[in-house]
Amino acid sequence: AQSVTQPDIHITVSEGASLELRCNYSYGATPYLFWYVQSPGQGLQLLLKYFSGDTLVQGIKGFEAEFKRSQSSFNLRKPSVHWSDAAEYFCAVGTVTGGGNKLTFGTGTQLKVEL
Amino acid sequence: GAVVSQHPSRVICKSGTSVKIECRSLDFQATTMFWYRQFPKKSLMLMATSNEGSKATYEQGVEKDKFLINHASLTLSTLTVTSAHPEDSSFYICSARAEVGYEQYFGPGTRLTVT
């Protein structure tokens, strides 16, 4: 079965500093990979996705992620964090099943931004 | 595009009563909808997958008689929590996937509190 690990439960960075959120996955085939962001009491917004092709993926809000097959990782990065980036970030792996395309989520990383 | 709404956003009900949550895809036809449950400071747990016009597929450990899912049209799925108990209090999030494509688009969530 597929699984996603986000090793960092909480991360605090200063505004303007760079950010990297870690994500490792376990899946037998080529994965579909996603990063979502959730603000308090809200649903999830897709930041970026990887299906195939270029392993460096650009997303919205200045985020990017790099798929590294050898490390089973899909880390999210941003060169300069803004205070509005404070939120919960979820990495997810997508699998194709008979009944539909399921997403398995990591446990999330809570990002706090210090002004 | 790809907007998903949920109604209500917040509901409080008494123990023993039933409550219905609606999930609508506003600008696309959703052949598949997913229902997730999220506990405080936890990840999203997939409860069930529903395809339009057919019975929902429930994940292991999810009581199908307690969480009734109906996907009667290509733009509407409903989750009914029957005989609700305080332990059913949670944040319920739906997502929808179009006929073409892999992405899931998430609703804003419904906060259920059972007293």
Give tens-digit pLDDT for B18-64. Answer: 999 999 999 999 889 999 999 877 789 999 999 888 889 999 999 99
pLDDT score recorded for residue A97? 61
Angle at A112 between CA A107 and CA B42, to 5 degrees: 20
- Give one word for A79, left, alpha or beta, with left for phi > 0 and alpha for psi -120 to 50: alpha
* Contact call for B102 and A100, based on CB within 8 A: no
* Contact call for A105 and B43, based on CB within 8 A: yes
- Which residue, chain included where needed, has tokens 């108990």? B85
Burial of B89 (0-12, 13-18, 19+ CB in 10 A): middle
* Token representation of residue A114: 């210090």
Per residue in B98-108, pLDDT (tens digit) is 877 778 899 99
* Contact call for B34 and A103, based on CB within 8 A: yes
- Rounded mean pLDDT of A75-84? 97
- Which residue, chain included where needed, has tokens 């123990």? B15
pLDDT band at A43 (very low <50, low <70, confident <90, very high): confident
Distances, alpha carbon B77 to alpha carbons A61, A79, A97, B7, in Å: 31, 40, 20, 11
Half-sphere exposure of A93 (CA within 13 A, CB side): 24
- Ranges assigned E (strand) in chain A: 3-5, 10-14, 19-21, 24-26, 32-38, 44-50, 56-58, 64-68, 73-78, 87-97, 100-105, 109-114
CA distance B96 to B107: 8
Q: Which of B104, B105, B110, B113 to mutate to test the interface with A (most CBs of A within 10 A)?
A: B104
Is the alpha carbon torsion for B44, B10, B34, B87 positive or negative? positive
Q: How many interchain CB pairs under 8 A, A with B?
A: 57
* Token representation of residue B75: 């733009």
If one compares A74 and A1, the residue with the highest pLDDT of the two is: A74
In this predicted structure, the answer to whether residue A101 has a pLDDT above a threshold of 80 is no
pLDDT score recorded for residue A98? 52
- Rounded mean pLDDT of B62-78? 93
Q: Is A5 on the interface with B (CB under 8 A)?
A: no
In this predicted structure, the answer to whether residue A64 has a pLDDT above a threshold of 70 is yes
Inter-residue contact A97 to A34 (CB < 8 Å): no
Nearest residue, CB atoms, A100 vs list B32, B42, B106: B32
pLDDT band at A100 (very low <50, low <70, confident <90, very high): low
| Mean model confidence pLDDT for chain A | 91
CA distance B109 to chain A (A): 5
pLDDT score recorded for residue A27? 84
